[in-house]
Amino acid sequence: MADWIYVDNSNVFIEGQRVSAVQQGMALDIYDAMTNRIIDTGYRISFGKLYQFIAGTDRKETARAMLFGSRPPQNDAIWDVAKRAGFEVITHDRNAANKEKKIDTGIVTEMTRDAYRNSAPGDVFTIVSGDSDYVPTVETLIKDGFQVDVVFWDHAARELREACSNFISLNPHMNTLTP
3 state SS of 6: strand
Percent of residues, the chain, with pLDDT higher than 90? 59
* Ranges of H-type helices in 30-134: 30-35, 47-55, 78-84, 103-113
Tell me the pLDDT tens digit for each residue of 33-63: 999 999 999 999 888 888 888 887 565 688 8
Q: Of 20-29, 51-60, 101-110, 135-144, which gets the smallest average pLDDT?
A: 51-60
CB atoms within 10 A of CB 150: 24
Rounded to 10°, the helix 103-113/135-143 angle is 10
CA distances from 75 to 31, 61, 94, 97, 152 (A): 34, 33, 17, 22, 29
Domain ranges of the chain: 2-9+45-177
Tell me the pLDDT tens digit for each residue of 112-142: 999 999 999 889 999 999 999 999 999 999 9
Q: What pLDDT shows up at residue 169?
A: 96
pTM for the full predicted model: 0.89
Architecture of the CATH domain 2-9+45-177: 3-Layer(aba) Sandwich (3.40)
- Specify the higher pLDDT residue, 53 or 88: 53
Q: Of 49-58, 88-97, 105-114, 167-176, which gets the smallest average pLDDT?
A: 88-97
